Amino acid sequence: MAIQKKHGKGRLDKWYKLAKEKGYRARAAFKLIQLNKKYGFLENSKVVLDLCAAPGSWCQVCAETMPTNSIIIGVDLAPIKPIPKVITFQSDITTEKCRATIRGHLKTWKADCVLHDGAPNVGTAWVQDSFNQAELVLHSLKLATEFLIEGGAFVTKVFRSKDYNSLLWVFKQLFNKVEATKPPSSRNVSAEIFVVCRGFKAPKRIDPRLLDPKSVFEDLADPTPNNEARVYNPEIKKRRREGYEEGDYIQFKEIPANEFIQTTDPIAILGQYNKLSFDQPKNGDVALSVLDKLPETTDEIRICCSDLKVLGRKEFKLLLKWRLKVREILGFPSTKKSAAPISEEVAEIGPMDEELQVQEDLQRLKEQESAKKKRERRRENEKKQKDIMRMQMSMTAPMDIGMEQDGPIGRGAMFRLKSVDKTAALNRLAKGKMAVLTEAETRPDQDSGIGSESDEESDEEEDRLERELDSMYEQYTERKAENDAKYRAKKARKEHLDEDWEGVSASEHGDSDDDEKLEEDSSDDSDDDDDEAGAVDKPLLRDLDGTPSEANGLSKRARSFFSQDIFKEIPVLEDLEEEASEEDGEEAESDGEQTNHDRSVKAKATPKDKEASKAPPKPVAFATEESEDSDDSGDWEETEKKSKSGKPDIDIITAEAMTLAHQLASGQTSKHDLIDDGFNKRAFKDRDGVPDWFLDDEHKHDRPHKPITKAAADAIKEKLRAYNARPIKKVAEARARKKFKQAQRLEKIKKKADLLAGEEGMSEKEKASSIAKLMSSAARKKTRQPMKVVKAAGLNRGISGRPKGVFFYFLVKGRYKMVDPRMKKEMRAMKRISKKKR
């Protein structure tokens, strides 16, 4: 680093130039700016006292930074040119007159901040200069103690000298926070540093000796060295800027190791000495020789003792432990480390004695205990929340709520909430009420015995927050489940861990539009879930009319709809007709009676359909599949559900699963291996008391990566390709509809032909020609009306409905398309240009 010159042109550094540029009277302005930037004492100050203020750059900074209408008083031996918004006067800050003048200006006000940048006239011996400065600091501190408000700040310049520590000690007696710093604008060559003292304690009475230079610099000239800091932070080496202590000229200090064992202040020895020696003195020392022979005095200990200055924290701890052991062996009383007066720095050092260690252990155990209690309380609260929910659902009477025990509504019990949840009714019931419920739930909890057990309010608060967080997370998952089918599937899979996952089909979770509609409209709480119906034999939520909510996989509403007279004796295919007729009103309208007749004929014709007609018809997708086995037109998810052999058909959809299947099939792995693999670090993870949101998040990443083989990946790819090759459900349905319509038309023609054939008044020729006509009209394709192109101009410009015709009196009939003539022209022009370019 380049050495900064304080004389000649070296003075004119960047801060000097900057000060000139900014109009500050001295480069010192930047010191205050930088100090204030770090500690921010000026912004909120209303009254500032600037001691030793000439030429006044600090006052300028204050006037700029402090709120308008603040009081700034500057005093110096030298005259200060007037500064707007600043009161200045000439005086010696060490005098009573100066004190009185300040009092006169401040009246009853107190200063929020006292600044001191005083420097005595230098030029005499350095020691004398620095002492004067320290004395000046003490004088400024004296003024500060008189004028500062409680909690106020005192910022002073000090020189690093022998008296520096004494000054710091005094500051610490009067302020809560004392920090020394050197702003960048302060020259490196200068011995000045700045001490920022915050939080003035404003004691009622201050011992005059505390502010008396004589007693301060005499009494505190040799403050207790911070040996703990030296030992525990050996990496931070303190420079001896003030030189060596009086009479302390030896750099390498050695002490017999037994003294380290015997001393009551081992830290002091470790901090002050360079070596713990095992060398015997001339006359011999029994204690030292015993220590030398002890097995506890290992080679490592000897190496550590040989040079204390190179040791780290770990080695110092080792030595202290060794000392304790030896003391125990030799029968020394195990006292606390030092009888010496404890300075405030000593108090900061961590406990090292065994006793303190025990205390720490106790504290830790206590914390563990309270954490356990907290967990238990949380679990109880959760249980209680569930109980209240059950009560709201009229599943329990208030007296049934056993908060403390599982009882008949406990976790493993038959009325477990999970089974209710399987009907998805719970979600609907709880939706939107969770927050209220949680709030309501927390209050009685606090009033109840459980809450009053704990006297730690913060714990309760934490519990409450955790519960709120949990309920918010639940709401979030519900919302997500509503919008995201994949997430719904995942959730279902997680909740039914003990069951084989067979995918979510449209009918199960209301994915199909029809089912969703039914569910929405439905007033009952049942769900059309075939699998779930098996799992939940007797759903707890029932309708008041007592009829079972589900039968043959249909919701109650769907069942009641299909149980109307009109559906009796009608085979499954009629559902398709219904749907088709909705889209093709023309066909559905005609020949209603006849169609019904035909239907019954058809029903008689196919025994399979007959069978189907006994049972209530199933939703469209399923029915189509049953009636057309050879066709791919059904919902393929459903077809894969049941294998022909009756065994569960497990669909392998991931490369990992396929790899596993390959391995099992080829004998590379066995069932036993798989079970064995199940016992891993994740299997017995303690999840008790861990919030759901945490577990969910963790689950995203904390899962084993199973190997995948190329063959398995290819097999899955092939499988997916096959799936993709199949027509999608809507296309399949459209095809089926078309087929059905054709069949219907054919039936109609047949009937008409039969009628014609039975007509008595017609000759055979006439009959034949009219049947031929009928057939040709049926075979004729309907011609589609051509689309009308309408200019979006004139009256049709910007209209939203059907445009008007050429003569404006008529609306355009049939299909139409609005065109923008300008755009058309432009597009043509573009085409022309691009052609030309080519």
Ligand X SMILES: C[S@@+](CC[C@H](N)C(=O)[O-])C[C@H]1O[C@@H](n2cnc3c(N)ncnc32)[C@H](O)[C@@H]1O
Among all residues, which ones are annotated catalytic? 157
53 binds ligand X (CB under 6 A): yes
Annotated binding residue at 635?
Answer: no
Q: Which is nearer to ligand X, 112 or 470 (CB)?
A: 112
Give me the DSSP letters along 62-94: HHHHSPTT-EEEEEESS-----TTEEEEE--TT
Write down the least CB distance from residue 162 to ligand X, Å.
20
Q: Is 213 in the site for ligand X (CB under 6 A)?
A: no
Q: Known binder of ligand: residue 76?
A: yes
Q: Which helix (H) or strand (E) holds 607?
A: helix 607-614
Residue of 34, 76, 278, 467 interacting with ligand X (CB under 6 A)? 76
Distance from C-alpha of 223 to C-alpha of 245, rounded to nearest angstrom: 11
Q: Does 155 bind ligand X (CB under 6 A)?
A: no
Rounded to a whole number of angstroms, the minimum distance from the CB of residue 96 to ligand X is 13
Instruction: Please state the closest distance from residue 185 (CB atom) to ligand X, in A.
Output: 11
Per CB under 6 A, the list member of 15, 41, 58, 273 interacting with ligand X is 58
Both tokens assigned to 798:
């910007």
234 binds ligand X (CB under 6 A): no
User: How many chain residues touch ligand X (CB under 6 A)?
Assistant: 22
Q: Is 456 in the site for ligand X (CB under 6 A)?
A: no
Grouping H, G, I as helix, E, B as strand and the rest as coil, residue 818 is: strand
Q: Which residues are bridge partners to 195 per DSSP? A: 156, 180
CA atoms within 13 A on the CB side of 310: 6
157 forms beta bridges with 194
16 binds ligand X (CB under 6 A): no
* Least Å from the CB of residue 17 to ligand X: 17
Please state the φ and ψ torsions of residue 495, each to the nearest 5 degrees: -70, -25
Residue 92 annotated as binding? yes
Burial class (CB in 10 A: 0-12, 13-18, 19+), 606: middle
Residue 58 is assigned to a ligand binding site: yes
Piece of 74-82, 398-406, 460-468, 537-545 that binds ligand X (CB under 6 A) = 74-82
Scanning 21-29, 419-427, 694-702, 789-797 for contacts with ligand X by CB under 6 A, the matching segment is: 21-29
Q: Which of 744, 751, 732 is nearest to 577 (CA)?
A: 744
- Nearest Cα neighbor of 562 from 580, 549, 544, 574 is 574
For the bound state, the minimum distance from the C-beta of residue 256 to ligand X, rounded and expressed in Å, comes to 52
The residue count for the chain: 838
Extract the tokens encoding 304. 């550590």
Residue 115 vs 570, nearer CB to ligand X: 115
* Residue from the set 47, 49, 52, 102 that interacts with ligand X by CB under 6 A: 52
Class of residue 365 by CB neighbours under 10 A (exposed 0-12, middle 13-18, buried 19+): exposed
Which CB, 51 or 736, lies closer to ligand X? 51
* Residue number, 86 or 481, with CB nearest to ligand X: 86
Task: Give, as ranges, the residues between 106 and 135 that touch ligand X (CB under 6 A).
Answer: 117-120
Q: Quick one: 120 or 503, whose CB is closer to ligand X?
A: 120
Name the segment binding ligand X (CB under 6 A); options: 76-84, 222-230, 408-416, 464-472: 76-84
| CA-based end-to-end distance of the chain | 69
DSSP character string of 399-460:
GG--SSS-GGGSTTSTT-HHHHHTTTHHHHHHTTTHHHHHHHHHHHHHHSHHHHH---HHHH
Of 87 and 736, which CB lies nearer to ligand X in the complex structure? Answer: 87
466 with 691: CB under 8 angstroms? yes
106: how many CB neighbours lie within 10 A of its CB?
Answer: 17
Which range, of 75-83, 301-309, 364-372, 812-820, touches ligand X by CB under 6 A? 75-83
Q: Report the DSSP beta bridge partners of residue 554.
A: 551
Contact (Cβ atoms closer than 8 angstroms) between residue 335 and residue 327 = no
93 binds ligand X (CB under 6 A): yes
Candidate list 42, 55, 389, 508; residue touching ligand X; CB under 6 A: 55
CB closer to ligand X out of 94 and 101: 94
User: Shortest gap between Cβ of 171 and ligand X (angstroms)?
Assistant: 19
| Residue 149 touches ligand X, criterion: CB under 6 A | no
Amino acid present at 671: K
Which of 78, 436, 650, 830 lies at the binding interface for ligand X (CB under 6 A)? 78
Does the protein bind ligand X through residue 190 (CB under 6 A)?
A: no
C-beta separation of 39 from 61 below 8 A: no
Q: State which residue, 57 or 624, has the beta carbon closest to ligand X.
A: 57
137 interacts with ligand X by CB under 6 A: no
The one segment of 90-98, 412-420, 449-457, 750-758 that binds ligand X by CB under 6 A: 90-98
- Binding string, residues 22-51; x marks residues near ligand X by CB under 6 A: ---xx-xx----------------------
Query: What angle (nearest 5°) sits at the alpha carbon of residue 152, between those of residues 148 and 157?
Result: 85
Instruction: Decide: 795 and 811 in contact? Cβ < 8 Å.
Output: no
- Confirm or reject binding of residue 92 to ligand X (CB under 6 A): yes
Residue 79 CA from chain centroid, whole number:
61
- Binding of ligand X by 180 (CB under 6 A): no
Interaction of residue 156 with ligand X, rule CB under 6 A: no
Q: Judge residue 294's burial from the number of C-beta atoms within 10 Å of its C-beta, 0-12 exposed, 13-18 middle, 19 or more buried.
A: middle
Q: Which is nearer to ligand X, 74 or 510 (CB)?
A: 74
State the CB neighbour count (10 A cutoff) for residue 621.
Answer: 23
Can residue 77 be called a binding residue for ligand X (CB under 6 A)?
yes
The reply to whether 222 sits in an annotated binding site is no
Q: Work out the burial of residue 119: count CB atoms within 10 Å of its CB; fewer than 13 is exposed, 13-18 middle, 19 or more buried.
A: middle
Question: Which segments are annotated as binding site?
Answer: 56, 58, 76, 92, 117
Contacting positions for ligand X (CB under 6 A): 25-26, 28-29, 52-58, 76-78, 92-94, 117-120, 136
Question: Which segments are annotated as binding site for S-adenosyl-L-methionine?
Answer: 56, 58, 76, 92, 117
